[in-house]
Amino acid sequence: MPALEPGAWRVHLIDVGTGLAILIQGHDFAMLYDAGTNDGGEQPTRVLDYLDAALASNRLDHVVLSHPHLDHASALEEVLDTFDVGDVWDTGRINDTVFYRDFLAAVARSAASYHTAAPPGRTLHVKEVDVTIDRPWTSFSELDEIALGDGARFTILHADHDTGRDPNASSIVLAVELGGARLLLTGDAESGPREDPSAPLGDAEAYLVEHYPDQLDADILQVGHHGSKTSSRRAFLDYVTPSLALISAGPRKYGKVTLPDDEVVAALEDVGAELLRTDVHDAGGCDLEPDARLGPPSGPGGCDSYVVTIAR
């Protein structure tokens, strides 16, 4: 891709099938928010190939894991082993699984600084193995502001390392400023059980509205939990009022449901959002050339990636 000039930014919604991966770029930084999939036929090399094509160098200044679920993290071990990563952001909510252990081991092998919402330490016990991260390790808090580059920064609005809660409830929520534009990244932040968007706010969405209502307004919204009815209550959307809504979803079911839910799609359209969805061609009909699709020919991902360019 052509190099970015000062005063311009790109937001990439990378089609990874049933999962999430978002790349944010300025002329002087690159940041990856999640990179994972639940689809057996979808390979991490799709994300690596996409990053190779999109990045001007081998550098990722920031890698954020919104929360420790496979569909948000499956490619991050390979990303950390392949790219020069400056800072890694993680809730610190331990998920006792092999993929999360391997992610932490990759952090330990890298030269990245490690940041969590949990107290800093050195050794984590995951899946019967002690992983020692002998790297700079700090704790972050809500409302911490992190400079990304010229005219760009993110503010942390939510993160929870409580191991007694579902990992979705720990999601790192970021308000990203790109010049005069705002992007809200929500991971899988929820309002509670699956209900119509007209239901009352709960859980993380209620917390965000109660504590940071003035921080939620955004031009671009990464729709929570892949467009599930667990998230995107209408009362929450009324605070965000997005012009663009990014829905990363795929063919694999969450329980008995293939996302996004029609009710959430309708609620987003009702608040005036244009939808960009990665599941458009999951049933077939993708006519992209292999080089344009990037990554392996098998798997549902790769056909419906989007690049949003922002100019000041």
Q: Indicate whether 2 belongs to any domain.
A: no
Give CA angle at 12 (7, 14), nearest 5°: 170
CB 199 within 8 A of CB 221: no
Under DSSP, the state recorded for 190 is -
Q: Indicate whether 45 belongs to any domain.
A: yes
CATH of residue 81's domain is 3.60.15.10
For 238-270, the pLDDT digits (tens) are 999 999 999 999 999 999 999 999 999 999 999
Q: Indicate whether 191 belongs to any domain.
A: yes
Q: Tell me the two tokens of residue 10.
A: 């790109």
CB 180 within 8 A of CB 198: no
Give the count of beta carbons closer than 10 Å to the beta carbon of residue 254. 16
Q: Indicate whether 1 belongs to any domain.
A: no
Range of the domain at 16: 8-311
pTM over 0.75: yes
For 75-112, the pLDDT digits (tens) are 999 999 999 999 999 999 999 999 999 999 999 999 99
Q: Indicate whether 61 belongs to any domain.
A: yes
Residue 131 amino acid letter:
V
CB 25 within 8 A of CB 6: no
Q: Indicate whether 3 belongs to any domain.
A: no
pLDDT of residue 163 exceeding 80, the answer is no
CA-based nearest residue to 168, from 146, 186, 149:
186
- Sequence length of the chain is 312
User: How many structural domains does the chain have?
Assistant: 1
For 209-221, the pLDDT digits (tens) are 999 999 999 999 9
CB 229 within 8 A of CB 196: yes
Q: Indicate whether 290 belongs to any domain.
A: yes
Give the count of beta carbons closer than 10 Å to the beta carbon of residue 132. 12
The Cβ-side half-sphere exposure at 22, using a 13 Å CA radius, reads 28
Q: Indicate whether 259 belongs to any domain.
A: yes
Give the SS3 label for residue 257: strand
**Beta-sheet pairing, 244-247 with 220-222:** parallel
